[in-house]
């Protein structure tokens, strides 16, 4: 799989205008990434802009705190699928996971999986707030509920994806469940390191910088730097 097809180009920041969303979709189409991940209100726009490009439309449910009632998360998911979403990145209920309320967390995820009607569901744990034991539990409940990915972060919490978390999450789930790294994936070197550890999808706003660096290396050019523009969330 190409590096581009591992990237979900993130368009989730609250200040983005419709023109920003359109430009982001143009970048996603031109760079042939896996998907865009847009705010719920932008799904129709993204679906129209990306029709026929092979780039999927992703969006979020219960974002960014995860504390929306389960019925609302499920209803939101159904509405987003109807609007054209191909993938759903949901935030589990962080507080209930920390409480050890496994029944609530499991049912919450399962309701979104059912509402998605077979579309890919990625479950955001928001690892910055969790112990390793809680991360492992969240991964196992995600798999039990039938979701397709475990994901590190929203990008709006104090911390994002780390190598240790990717290794922990990869070990906590079966091979058919994938791992998505998000939050702080701002350079090609970071992406490659996390991919080696087991991540197969990456949320990024620095998509062009990452892919430009890759192209330069493939041409045999010395990379300018391993850091790129700040993520600004996600």
Q: Which residues are catalytic?
A: 89, 151, 180
Q: Which two tokens stand for residue 228?
A: 């790129």
Rounded distance, CA 209 to CA 66, Å?
30
DSSP bridge partners of 151:
124, 180
Q: Which two tokens stand for residue 112?
A: 């979104």
Q: Which two tokens stand for residue 69?
A: 């009632």
DSSP reduced 3-state for 8:
strand
Q: Is 176 exposed, middle or buried (0-12, 13-18, 19+ CB in 10 A)?
A: exposed
Q: Is 128 exposed, middle or buried (0-12, 13-18, 19+ CB in 10 A)?
A: middle
DSSP for 100-138?
T-HHHHHHHHHHHHHHHTTSEEEEE--GGG--HHHHHHH
């Amino acid at each position: 799989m190409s590096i581009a097809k591992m990237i979900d180009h993130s368009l989730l920041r609250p200040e983005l205008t419709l023109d920003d969303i359109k430009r982001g979709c143009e970048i996603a189409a031109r760079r042939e990434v896996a998907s865009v991940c847009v705010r719920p209100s932008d799904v129709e726009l993204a679906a129209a802009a990306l029709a026929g490009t092979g780039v999927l439309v992703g969006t979020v449910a219960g974002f960014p705190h995860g504390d929306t009632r389960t019925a609302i998360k499920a209803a939101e998911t159904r509405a987003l699928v109807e609007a054209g979403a191909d993938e759903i990145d949901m935030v589990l209920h962080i507080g209930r996971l920390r409480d050890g309320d496994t029944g609530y967390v499991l049912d919450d995820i399962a309701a979104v999986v059912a509402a998605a009607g077979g579309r890919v569901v990625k479950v955001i744990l928001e690892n910055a707030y969790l112990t390793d034991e809680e991360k492992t539990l969240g991964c196992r409940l995600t798999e039990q509920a039938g979701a397709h990915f475990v994901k590190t972060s929203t990008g709006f919490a104090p911390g994002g994806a780390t190598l240790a978390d990717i290794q922990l999450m990869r070990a906590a789930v079966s091979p058919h469940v994938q791992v998505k790294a998000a939050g702080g994936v701002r350079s090609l070197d970071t992406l490659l390191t996390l991919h080696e550890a087991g991540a197969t999808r990456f949320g990024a706003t620095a998509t062009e910088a990452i892919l430009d660096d890759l192209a330069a290396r493939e041409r045999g050019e010395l990379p300018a730097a391993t850091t790129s523009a700040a993520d600004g969330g996600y």
